[in-house]
Amino acid sequence: MRADFVFQKLKLAVFVDGCFWHGCPRHATKPRNNRAFWRKKLVGNKARDQLVNHTLRKAGWRVVRIWECELAQRSAVCLRRLQRVIG
């Protein structure tokens, strides 16, 4: 998985996670059809996200994950988070 924004000099990777695909606690929906497939797919996405976070952090990178709903509705909050991480 590739980060949406990579700041090499800062060793900062920023991911904008889709609410459906990554399981936003506020907006994720559960498909009614083919439930077993979707459950496996979405659980796998979350597990991969955790592995990517762990791998990058172990390599000395900072990781920021932003929900797509946050970016759309609260962009100022997202910007402040990034500013805090950058320092």
Domains of the chain: 5-86 (3.40.960.10)
Residue 17: both structure tokens together: 């996670």
Residue 13 CB: number of other CB atoms within 10 A?
23
Note the pLDDT tens digit of each residue in 4-50.
Answer: 999 999 999 999 999 999 999 888 888 889 999 999 999 999 999 99
Q: Is the distance from CB of 16 to CB of 71 less than 8 angstroms?
A: yes
pTM above 0.85, yes or no: yes
